[in-house]
Chains A and B, each alone.
Chain A
């Protein structure tokens, strides 16, 4: 008797969960859906760019697919952060351990796509799934992301070309100064985050 009640209870909960999911899917509007799809595509592309082709063309691709899907489904949680570390880890592993060659275009593409994942995850996190989005909101958002990517391209050119003209000693001093600035900035921002 108790088992039957338990099964009945589980069935009821499952049915309620399915109904809720169907209701949410029906209420989903095109704007947020577009953002989520864009997030998924960018996340999958980022993993393909980050990891060497030898890894991508294995069953690991299904893991990439799942990771991109999870990032799309849960943009508010730690999934986007986890995704970014896995992608960067793949880039490091590919270039350091698996002998992949890094070129400027590939690096820029990866930087742009990873930032797009971060940016779209931030948008998806604040955008309700059933929201009516005014025309122009998404285009303006993507325009700002494009501006950031453009600035990154300039920096990338600078970072790749300029060290060739500098001596090793100057490069070390600049690196140490950059590290100090970076540490101060991160500490300041982290303190602001903790204040909330």
Chain B
């Protein structure tokens, strides 16, 4: 009778011969020591005729023999669990490591370690864990993680080494893949009372500066052909003996384009509740602004000013807000050696009616040039200064203070030049940050413009 080899892999029974087992298990220095001691003691016992040396060698030989007689041949299986797919900054999530013994022999012990992202705080997570694992079972280690900063921090990869044969054999590492969790930024509270400079359509919830069908009362005026009868203000009409209608401002939607300057990271991030770096302010402010305008029914697009030129198309609604948050998690500082592609950031990429909000620390002249290009093309641009006010400057000599002052003067000069171009720049201050500058931009948008004919 012919024994057929199964087409599918078997039940995973490992190699039973020591030579095969040692492909996945390495002898430790203790193994060599035991062999050496047994060999030398027995040889000396033979040469000197000393039976006591045989007794001294016996436990080493017995220990090695017992260990190797029943030895595991398979490496431990490791997995990493995360209790949720996403949380907010400062949120806590249950996590866990699991190490399983697929062999038929018990591991003497398993040393389990895991890598942890810096912004994921896991109490005692940086320590190795040592446990025993019975055959066919798994040992679970429950952890509690707290996310300290937005991003996609990872727990893992986890590595486990099993030890068998009383410390004579150690396994190759069993590894568990890292599990990432989306940590959404805590949105900075943001409100803007002033209207948008220009709307893109006649639907939406924005009150515009133009008269039309809407819910916001603009005043009472004389009836004119074309006015709807339900707009007639009967009380005023009876008092004045002439038909009057309630005039309203049209409701409109608008498009907001948030450009995130990620050319440089500055400042040291302290996570939630700590100091803020440029990217911290940029991401949290962008999340707050996007939440505000999306809640009002506007369309929000995002653009990363860096060599990657990531872009999120304009959209509206709650689903788009979640997309914005997901998109923001991928924000990272661009490498210094890369140049943003000029074509990717031209005014043609943004609708002429859109409000362009640039979140920038203004540390690079290229950003100022990009903003100036938008302004010259007639776009409504508002700058938000994201540079931390308390950013420490390196002090390495007597000239450092003077150099720092010169740098600050140069930056102030850039800000003033942008204002001269009609680009108001304000420091990020949460609610009402943009009210003043939006008012300026709206005033400029409604002002008469000289046109060449």
Whether A179 contacts B42 in the complex (CB less than 8 A), given A126-B170, A127-B130, comes out as: yes
In B110-130, the 8 Å CB interface with A consists of: 111, 124, 127-130
CB pair B59–A160 under 8 Å, yes or no, is no
Chain B residue with Cβ nearest A127: B130
Q: For B51, what are the chain A residues with a Cβ–Cβ distance below 8 Å?
A: 159-160, 163
Q: A residues within 8 A CB of B40? A: 85
Per-position 1/0 for B16-47, Cβ under 8 A of A: 00110010001111111111111111111010
For B161, list chain A residues within 8 Å (CB): 126
Q: Are A126 and B19 in contact (CB under 8 A)?
A: no
Q: A134-B129, A155-B58, A192-B27 are in contact. Are A80 and B33 (CB under 8 A)?
A: yes
Instruction: Give the complex CA separation of A92 and B412 in angstroms.
Output: 86
Among the listed stretches A13-21, A51-59, A109-117, which one makes contact with chain B, having 4 or more residues with CB under 8 Å of it?
A109-117
A39-62 interface with B by 8 A CB criterion: none
Task: Please tell me if the beta carbons of B52 and A126 are within 8 angstroms of each other in the complex.
Answer: no
Q: A115-B59, A189-B35 are in contact. Are A130 and B128 (CB under 8 A)?
A: yes
Given the contacts A155-B58, A196-B26, A132 and B128 also touching, CB distance less than 8 Å: yes
| Alpha-carbon separation in the docked complex, A144 to B40 (Å) | 24
The reply on A30 being an interface residue by CB < 8 A is: no
Instruction: Decide if B39 touches A132 in the complex (CB within 8 Å).
Output: no
Count how many chain B residues have C-beta atoms less than 8 Å from C-beta atoms of the other chain: 55
Cβ–Cβ < 8 Å partners of A163 in chain B: 51
Contact-residue size bin, chain A (C-beta under 8 Å from the other chain) = 35 or more
Please name all residues of chain A whose beta carbon is closer than 8 Å to the beta carbon of B129 when the two chains form the complex.
131-132, 134
In the complex the two chains form, is B166's CB within 8 Å of A141's CB? Answer: yes
Chain B residues contacting A84 (CB-CB under 8 Å) are 33, 37
Which residues of chain A are near B22, meaning CB under 8 Å?
A: 192, 195-196
In the complex, which of the residues B19, B41, B66, B108 contacts A195, with contact meaning CB atoms closer than 8 Å?
B19
Instruction: Look across to chain B and name the residue whose beta carbon is closest to the beta carbon of A130.
Output: B127
Asked if B109 lies at the interface with its beta carbon under 8 angstroms from chain A, I say yes
| Complex interface bits, A111-151 against B, C-beta within 8 A gives 1, otherwise 0 | 11011001101110111101111101100110011011101
Contacts A134-B130, A175-B46, A182-B42; A123 near B167 (Cβ below 8 A): yes
Interchain CB contact under 8 A, A128 and B59: no
Decide: A132 and B124 in contact? CB cutoff 8 A: yes
Q: Is there contact, CB below 8 Å, between B56 and A107?
A: yes
What residues of chain B lie closer than 8 Å to A31, measured between beta carbons?
A: 130
Q: What chain B residues lie within 8 Å of A11 (beta carbons)?
A: none
> Is B168's CB within 8 Å of the partner chain A?
yes
Q: Are A152 and B59 in contact (CB under 8 A)?
A: yes
Q: Quick check: A148 and B62 within 8 Å, CB to CB?
A: yes
Specify which of B30, B58, B64 is in contact with A152 (CB 8 Å cutoff): B58
Q: Which residue of A lies closest to B170 (CB)?
A: A126
Distance to closest chain A CB from B1 (angstroms): 36
- A134 and B132 form a contact (CB under 8 A): yes
B130 with A95: CB separation less than 8 A = no
Chain A positions 75 through 102: 1 when the CB is less than 8 Å from some CB of chain B, otherwise 0: 0110011001100100110011000001
Query: Contact between A133 and B130 (Cβ–Cβ < 8 Å)?
Result: yes
The yes or no answer to B54 lying at the interface (CB within 8 A) is yes
Instruction: Please determine whether B38 and A137 come into contact, CB atoms closer than 8 angstroms.
Output: no
Q: Say yes or no: B111 contacts A131, CB within 8 Å.
A: yes
Does A156 make an interface contact (CB < 8 A)? yes
Pick the contact of A88: B56, B66, B166, B167 (CB < 8 A): B56
Q: Name the residue among B22, B43, B63, B139 with the largest chain A CB count within 10 angstroms.
A: B63
Q: How far is the CA of A178 from the CA of B46 in the complex (A)?
A: 9
Q: Which residue of B lies closest to A119 (CB)?
A: B166
Inter-chain contact B130/A190, CB cutoff 8 Å: no
B381 CB–A CB distance under 8 Å: no
Chain B nearest CB: distance from A84 CB in Å? Answer: 6
B327 contacts A by Cβ under 8 Å: no
Q: Which residues of A contact B446 (CB under 8 A)?
A: none
Given contacts A81-B36, A148-B62, contact A136 B132 (CB under 8 A): yes
Contact A152 B62 (CB under 8 A): yes
Question: Nearest residue in A to B161 (C-beta to C-beta)?
Answer: A126
Could you tell me if B166 and A145 are in contact, using CB atoms closer than 8 angstroms? yes
Residue of B58, B130, B166 near A151 (CB, 8 A) is: B58
Contact (Cβ within 8 A) A193 B58: no
- In the assembled complex, the Cα of A130 lies from the Cα of B127 at a distance in Å of 6
Asked if B55 is at the interface of the complex by the 8 Å CB criterion, the answer is yes
Given A137-B130, A159-B54, decide whether A126 and B39 contact each other with a Cβ distance below 8 A. Answer: no
Chain A minimum-CB-distance residue to B35? A189
Residue pair B27, A193 in contact (C-beta under 8 Å) = yes
Task: Please tell me if the beta carbons of A155 and B29 are within 8 angstroms of each other in the complex.
Answer: no
A10 CB within 8 Å of chain B: no
Report how far A131 CA is from B114 CA in the complex, Å: 12
Contact assessment for A118 and B132 in the assembled complex, using a CB-CB cutoff below 8 Å: no
Contact B59 A148 (CB under 8 A): yes
Judge whether B86 is part of the interface by a CB distance below 8 angstroms.
no
B55-79 interface mask toward A, CB cutoff 8 Å, 1 = contact, 0 = none? 1101110111010000000000000
**6 A-B pairs with least C-beta separation:** A122-B167, A122-B30, A115-B59, A134-B131, A186-B39, A131-B128
- Other contacts beyond A126-B167, A137-B130, A155-B58: 6, CB < 8 A: A27-B127, A80-B30, A115-B59, A122-B167, A179-B42, A189-B64
Point out residues on B near A: beta carbons under 8 Å. 18-19, 22, 26-44, 46, 48, 50-56, 58-60, 62-64, 66, 108-109, 111, 124, 127-132, 139, 161, 163, 166-168, 170
- Pick 23 A–B contacts, CB within 8 A, sort by A: A81-B36, A115-B59, A115-B60, A122-B168, A126-B161, A128-B111, A128-B128, A131-B128, A131-B129, A132-B130, A134-B139, A137-B130, A144-B166, A148-B59, A155-B62, A160-B55, A178-B46, A182-B38, A182-B39, A182-B46, A183-B39, A186-B39, A186-B42
